[in-house]
């Protein structure tokens, strides 16, 4: 036996030759070890995104889907229709968007909304609004408008006449004089709020501002987009969400007023600030290759390639044509995340305008649970007053809140809670005049998610 032979050699003093081991298969073992190391590194670097994709987001989606199934919206008794829509959206008329009318309408249909108040940036020279971006298209009402760098959003006037260099106050005054409707956007930016002329509406939330505030790194954005965005886009968007309590407090300040500045009627709306310009795309270059660039037209190309593979992909496509793109902020996603509801008598632009100016509106994060069926009213003297209305205070008057699903209701007077309930309804007999509005929160995983912000009822 080999071991006996070695023992004899050792006993006789003969030098032992080193034993030769068989290393067959050692290359596979090395590759396996390398694979395990790389897999461990990859798993560690992607752990947060994997946890979101397979644990956090599915659990949130299932919980919200269960609430959605429990919805029991009551029909409205006043003959009005609760229409879901979007304020603040951009198209190819803006310098920072390439969204076509067809893409906007398609996104609106997928998001199940009824109207869009567009807000394109003024162009130099001014551009005419094409017929495809105004009026009703496939059941979606499109209302052209403008957003200026000073912070005005406005509709129902000739947007070509806006002076982009005028001050915010001057722009609002000009729009009002032209018979239009003016509002103020981006409450995250400084504005001379107390010194502005009367304006109709203001944003109490802006999705784009929320995204900027989050400041995700590029690697984090790519990780969320790759793993979770296709299946759980709204849950990824909630990673950007911040409670808008500061902006709501600013709105309260304007509607309530103080010793130096009397309260004014200001309608709260949400700003979707949809551009569909957050992503990457491959475009055919004049050299017959491909250019990697952002989905915003104002961004410089990131990389250009004219190798054989690039030319092969570009073959058969016209110069400037997009052959592939990957979007994070598709219109249907931005449109769906938050909505402004108008209680209107119909879908026409004039009927939507009337509802907006009257304040018959509320803001809702419908991506959590569809808020249609929410109602806030005041019954007094055999009359029913809606959100946005002024009403005389009556001893028998009752403020009523109704929800399609049970949630935490907070009724506020002049910004201070006066009644709360965790139910599908709340009734409150108001004994003091004031600005009354409602906030509603959904229960999820031990937290209260902001869901609905009503416009006020002004009891005089």
Nearest alpha-carbon partner for 208 in 87, 342, 109:
87
pLDDT (0 to 100) of residue 25: 54
Q: Which residues pair with 377 in a beta bridge?
A: 386, 400
Neighbours of 70 (CB within 10 A): 11
**Each residue of 164-206: pLDDT tens digit?**
999 999 999 999 999 999 999 999 999 999 999 999 999 999 9
8 Å CB contact between 270 and 338: yes
Distance (Å) of CA 384 to CA 79, 360, 371, 379, 400: 12, 13, 21, 5, 10
pLDDT (0 to 100) of residue 37: 73
Q: Domain boundaries in the chain?
A: 79-278+328-369, 279-327
pLDDT (0 to 100) of residue 200: 98
d(CA 89, CA 97) in angstroms, rounded, equals 10
**Each residue of 87-97: pLDDT tens digit?**
999 999 999 99
pLDDT (0 to 100) of residue 11: 52
**Each residue of 340-379: pLDDT tens digit?**
999 999 999 999 999 999 999 999 999 999 999 999 999 9
Residue range 79-278+328-369 in CATH 2.40.33.10? no
Q: Consecutive sets of 10 residues in the chain, 460 residues long: mean pLDDT of each?
A: 48 53 61 75 81 96 97 93 98 95 98 98 92 97 98 97 96 98 97 96 96 86 91 96 97 94 96 93 90 80 85 90 90 98 98 98 98 97 95 95 98 98 98 98 95 98
pLDDT (0 to 100) of residue 30: 78
pLDDT (0 to 100) of residue 438: 98
pLDDT (0 to 100) of residue 38: 74
């Amino acid at each position: 036996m080999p071991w006996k032979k070695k023992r004899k050699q050792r006993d006789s003093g003969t030098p032992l030759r080193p034993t030769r081991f068989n290393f067959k298969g050692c290359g596979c073992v090395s590759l396996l070890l390398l694979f395990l190391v790389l897999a461990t590194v990859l798993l560690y670097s992607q752990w947060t995104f994997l946890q979101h994709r397979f644990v956090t987001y599915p659990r949130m989606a299932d919980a919200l889907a269960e609430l959605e199934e429990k919805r029991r919206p009551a029909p409205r008794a006043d003959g009005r229709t609760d229409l879901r829509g979007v304020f603040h959206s951009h198209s190819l008329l803006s310098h920072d968007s390439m969204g076509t009318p067809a893409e906007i309408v398609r996104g609106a249909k997928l998001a199940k909304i009824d109207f869009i108040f567009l807000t394109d940036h003024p162009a130099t020279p001014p551009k005419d609004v094409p017929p495809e971006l105004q009026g009703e298209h496939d059941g979606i009402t499109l209302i052209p408008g403008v957003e200026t760098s000073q912070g005005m959003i406005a509709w129902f006037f000739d947007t070509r006449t806006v002076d982009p260099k005028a001050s915010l106050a001057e722009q609002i005054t000009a729009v009002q004089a032209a018979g239009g409707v003016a509002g103020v956007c981006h409450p995250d930016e400084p504005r001379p709020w107390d010194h502005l002329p009367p304006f109709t509406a203001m944003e109490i939330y802006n999705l784009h501002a929320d995204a900027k505030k989050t400041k995700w790194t590029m690697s984090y954005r790519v990780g969320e987009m790759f793993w979770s965005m296709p299946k759980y886009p709204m849950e990824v968007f909630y990673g950007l969400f911040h409670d808008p309590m500061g902006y709501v407090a600013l709105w309260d300040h304007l509607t309530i007023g103080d010793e130096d500045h009397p309260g004014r009627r200001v309608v709260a709306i949400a700003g979707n600030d949809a551009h569909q310009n957050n992503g990457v795309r491959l475009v055919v270059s004049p050299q017959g290759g491909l250019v990697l660039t952002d989905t915003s037209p104002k961004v410089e190309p990131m990389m250009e390639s004219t190798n054989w593979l690039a030319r092969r992909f570009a073959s058969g496509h016209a110069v400037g044509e997009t052959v592939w793109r990957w979007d994070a902020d598709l219109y249907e996603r931005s449109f769906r995340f938050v909505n402004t509801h108008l209680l209107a008598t119909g879908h026409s632009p004039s009927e939507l305008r009337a509802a907006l100016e009257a304040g018959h509106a509320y803001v809702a994060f419908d991506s959590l649970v569809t808020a249609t069926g929410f109602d806030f009213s005041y019954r007094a003297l055999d009359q029913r007053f809606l959100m946005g209305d002024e009403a005389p205070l009556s001893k028998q008057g009752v403020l009523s809140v109704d929800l399609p699903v049970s949630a935490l209701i907070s009724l506020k007077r002049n910004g201070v809670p006066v009644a709360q309930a965790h139910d599908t309804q709340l009734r409150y007999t108001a004994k003091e005049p004031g600005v009354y509005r409602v906030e509603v929160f959904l229960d999820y995983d031990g937290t209260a998610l902001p869901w609905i912000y009503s416009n006020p009822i002004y009891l005089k």
